[in-house]
Amino acid sequence: QKEVEQDPGPLSVPEGAIVSLNCTYSNSAFQYFMWYRQYSRKGPELLMYTYSSGNKEDGRFTAQVDKSSKYISLFIRDSQPSDSATYLCAMNGGSQGNLIFGKGTKLSVKP
Amino acid sequence: GAGVSQTPSNKVTEKGKYVELRCDPISGHTALYWYRQSLGQGPEFLIYFQGTGAADDSGLPNDRFFAVRPEGSVSTLKIQRTERGDSAVYLCASSHMNRGLNGELFFGEGSRLTVL
């Protein structure tokens, strides 16, 4: 079993839909949880990070962490075609910069 | 430029050859990271520099891979005796000190290496 599991999709939704992306993990030492967005042939860019359990909201994006279930989610409200990208979850157990990434979920938002 | 710069953007080489990939981080960022991303996978950690020293090289797959950052700015990833399995996108990222804990890394666009 990999440390971080993420459904690769692809996921296709109509414009305006609510998108739910998620990851599961096995290492209870993870404390920092991140979501990155990666456009085709570009480097990943950080969307949000959360420390420990709880919710965090930033505009149309909401990140949730449930440490008891080892499950994290990213919700995108009112999805736009410009949200079409691969979304990567990542986690850190306390080592500076040694992030463990999921495989990424490829999202397509159709106009 | 304002972002992390990586050169070359594309490199095609033959099996057994030596390759160097260069990373120019964001000015003022003391921490620098190398990751490798294979097709259909997430990035995989290779090495982390704080200043000139490698603080964590636990991700380097074997002794064919080596990285340096002699003046605490530009870094070079060196791969000896390349193998077809080394084909991937090599991503460089930088951050302010200690911001790597919460993932505040700024990635470059990567160097796409193809080993024939």
Reduce the secondary structure of chain B to three states and give it as a string.
CCCCEEECCEEEECCCCCEEEEEECCCCCCEEEEEEECCCCCCEEEEEEECCEEEECCCCCCCCEEEECCCCCCEEEEECCCCHHHCEEEEEEEECCCCCCCCCCEECCCEEEEEC
Cα B100 to Cα B49: distance, rounded to the nearest angstrom: 11
**CB atoms inside a 10 Å sphere around CB A105:** 21
**CB atoms inside a 10 Å sphere around CB A57:** 12
Handedness of CA A53, A74, A105, A9 (dihedral sign): positive
Region of poorest pLDDT, from A39-43, A66-70, B91-95, B99-103: B99-103
Residues of B with Cβ-Cβ distance to A34 under 8 angstroms:
102-103
Cβ distance B45 to A100 less than 8 Å, yes or no, reads: yes
Tell me which residues of chain A have a pLDDT lower than 50. none
Residue with tokens 């463990």: A100
User: Which of B69, B95, B101, B112 to probe the A interface (max A CBs under 10 A)?
Assistant: B101
pLDDT for A1 equals: 64
Cβ distance B48 to A98 less than 8 Å, yes or no, reads: yes
Cα B64 to Cα B71: distance, rounded to the nearest angstrom: 23
pLDDT for A9 equals: 86
From the list B107, B102, B90, the residue with the least C-alpha distance to B29 is B107
Residue of B nearest to A41 (CA): B109
Residue B74 near residue B24, CB atoms below 8 Å: yes
Query: Over the stretch A1-32, which tens digit does the pLDDT of each residue have?
Result: 679 999 888 999 999 999 999 999 999 989 99
How many Cβ pairs closer than 8 A exist between chain A and B? Answer: 80
CA atoms within 13 A on the CB side of A59: 4
pLDDT for A109 equals: 98
Residues B48-59 have a mean pLDDT of 92
